[in-house]
Every structure is written in C-alpha cells, then in structure tokens.
Amino acid sequence: MPHHSTKKRIFLSAPHMSGNEQKYVKQAFNTNWIAPLGPNVDAFEKELSAYVGASEGVALSSGTAAIHLALSLLGVGKGDIVFCSSLTFVASANPILYQGAEPVFIDSEPDTWNMSLQALEKAFKVAALNGKLPKAVIVVNLYGQSAKMDEILAICNGYNVPIIEDAAESLGSSYKGKASGTFGKFGIYSFNGNKIITTSGGGMLVSEDTEAINKARFLSTQARDEAIHYQHSQMGYNYRMSNILAGVGRGQLEVLEQRVMEKRDVFNFYYEELAELPGLNFMPELEGTYTNRWLTALTIEEKVTGVSANTLIEALAEENIEARPVWKPLHLQPLFQDAAYFSHEKDYSVSEALFNSGICLPSGTNMTKADQLRVISCIKSVLIINQPYVISG
C-alpha cells in the first residue's frame, strides 16, 4: 500500500475562488484604497445586505467580531445571562465571555440538529423562576440548516428577549423563503477560509435597525467621536474589514448561488451512494427550509456498522482525506465546565449523541467527482470490512 502522503489531499472545505475577486482587488490597488474602509467595503455591505434582504450590514474582520458587537449593542455585560446553542463552534459563545456574561447552553433537537424548542422553553422557565432572564439568545444554523426560527422567535418574543442569529455556516440558505440570518434582531455571517464564500477572514453583521448598524460601524472603528482631533468617549474596537478583502468578498458573492448548488450536489452524490448502507443517517433538511449543505454531515450507528465515527475518520485520514467529527458541544468543553445546560429530554442529550456518532465529510465545491468517489469507496470498504454480523439463512 502506498503511504497516504502520496495521494492528493482532499480537504474538508477549501476556499474556491471565482476569478473575479482579483478584478476588485486590483481596483483597490489602482485607487490605493488599501485601508479598512473604501469603495469595496461599502459595495460589499450593500451587495450582501441586498442578497439576504437585510436593510443594513457592516463588514467586519470576523464573524466572531460580529457576534461580539451584537452582544455589545444589546447591552450584554458583566453577570448577564446569554442562551446559546450548545452544538456549535466555540466562536458562537466566546464573545459572551468577552462581555463578562454567562452562557447557558441549549441542546439540539433531532429534526434540524439545531436549538431544541423544549430545552429552550425549559431554560426560560428556570430563568424566569430565578428572576433573571437572558439578555439575548444566540441561535446557530448548523452546517447550513436553519433552526426552527418561527417557533424559536415565538418563545423568545414571549419573554421579550432578542435573538442573534449565528448564520456563519448558513449564508445562502433560507427558511420559508426568507434568507437565513435575517430572523433575529441581528444576524451574523462569516467569511473565514472554510466557509461557503470567503474573504480569507471576515464577517458581516446585519439588521433591520439602521441606527444599531451605524453604532456597530462606529464601535468597530475605535469609537471615534466626530471631531477634528482624535476624541473618544466610549471604548471601541478595531474590527473593520479591509477594502482589499472586501474586494475578494464581492467576487465571491457573485458565485454564492452557484456554490450553494455545488454544495448540494456534493451532498446528493454522497447520499445516492451511501444512504442505503445500514446504520448511516444523513443530516435532515427540514421541510420548508433550503440548506446550503455547507458540510455534508451524517451519523454512524456503531451497533449496526461495527465502526465508530472516529474509526472512519482515521481510515479516511490514512487515505489523505480530511473528515471531521461533528462539533463537540460547548457544554462539554473544559472552557465552559461551569455553565448551565438544558438537554432536549431529561435523560437524553441530542447534541452529545450527535457528537458521539457524527461525521462531516469533505464538502469542497472544488472537489472533483473522482475525489468524491475516493471518499465514497473508502467509506464503503471500511463499512463492509467491519460488518459485525454475517447474515446467513
């Protein structure tokens, strides 16, 4: 057997340029707009906001910065409580800590792998009994799939608590025909290198509240007061996106729709080839939603296949194929060991079950069919070799 390093590496989700990015970057160079402001930044904000149907957007250095500013604008501070989906990347919750607030983690539910309605209701009841409601709820749309936004909004509105929709993974997805990221008081997107479109690093905060977005723009540029000299009456941040990177973003946005279709094709090909195998269950797409399928995710029932998710990930790694476990729930992270957690059922945590059996397959839009077949045949060979029961007459 050849050593794995001799085979071409297949990445989980590599950047995929369209070619037009360089046109906008070149414009920035030609006009010497090499700064964290400029025509590409303004245009990228307008173009992305128009695409998702939000009134306003501010381009930032990361999705994390966008969540941080959203919390700051909602007045989240020391000792406050913020509810947050547990099954997500740590960036969803780190900004809660930046503000000195306390995260309370909410489990997932099986239909969407996103925030559980019953766990959220339970958390609100307990918070109300304790006389301390959360200042905000951060709802994550995992791997492109929208959470049950109508129901979640109804619960949160009932307590008058605003939502920050973490749509870092779901740009290009929709829920009942409306763009993912436009349901909460604030929505955030990420353009990190592995996201569906990228600026190499960047983010966007969107809202219907023009005043709030203007405030975010102010805070993201060191909160400089209007004066000829440098005057500051508030603490600010250096969170603005550069005009060069916004140029990359403009080129990427032009192909977003195409990327969504390509991601969905990747998912569909895996599904056609693997869904019939016993013990494999693909992440569902909730009726009335359209997911960008940022990553193809599925679970493996070890009892049925004789193979754990980790064993499969290791077997793929041997073939120089990058697959990953599903996010480790944040309530299980040492960083958040003191945080409260509300599970979907009293004795059943959906996010933990998904973590224990879940796997994300390479889902890059620049993967070839042959690359994908390499992934598929590796999975098939591992599963078939390890069938625990030989079925006989």
Ligand X SMILES: *Cc1c(COP(=O)(O)O)cnc(C)c1O
Residues lying near ligand X in the complex (CB under 6 A): 62-64, 88-89, 91-92, 140, 166, 168-169, 190, 192, 203
Closer Cβ to ligand X, 145 or 305, answer by number: 145
Q: How far is the CB of 327 from ligand X (least distance, A)?
A: 8
Cβ-based neighbours of 293, under 8 Å, separated by 6 or more: 143, 144, 260, 263, 264, 266, 267, 363
With 0-12 / 13-18 / 19 or more C-beta atoms within 10 angstroms meaning exposed / middle / buried, residue 211 is exposed
Cβ-based neighbours of 175, under 8 Å, separated by 6 or more: 146, 149, 183, 288, 289
Out of 125, 195, 215, 263, the active site residue is: 195
Closer Cβ to ligand X, 190 or 357, answer by number: 190
**Tokens, residue 392:** 């006989």
- Whose tokens are 């920035």? That residue is 28
Measured between alpha carbons, how far is 152 from 147 in angstroms, rounded to an integer? Answer: 8
Closer Cβ to ligand X, 107 or 169, answer by number: 169
Q: In terms of DSSP bridges, do strands 163-166 and 186-190 run parallel, antiparallel, or are they unpaired?
A: parallel
Closer Cβ to ligand X, 92 or 351, answer by number: 92
Cβ-based neighbours of 6, under 8 Å, separated by 6 or more: none
Q: Catalytic residue at 195?
A: yes
Measured between alpha carbons, how far is 45 from 49 in angstroms, rounded to an integer? Answer: 6
Q: How far is the CB of 169 from ligand X (least distance, A)?
A: 5
Query: Rounded to 5 degrees, what angle do the CA atoms 194, 200, 205 make?
Result: 85
**Tokens, residue 131:** 């006389």
Closer Cβ to ligand X, 92 or 372, answer by number: 92
Q: Which residues are catalytic?
A: 195
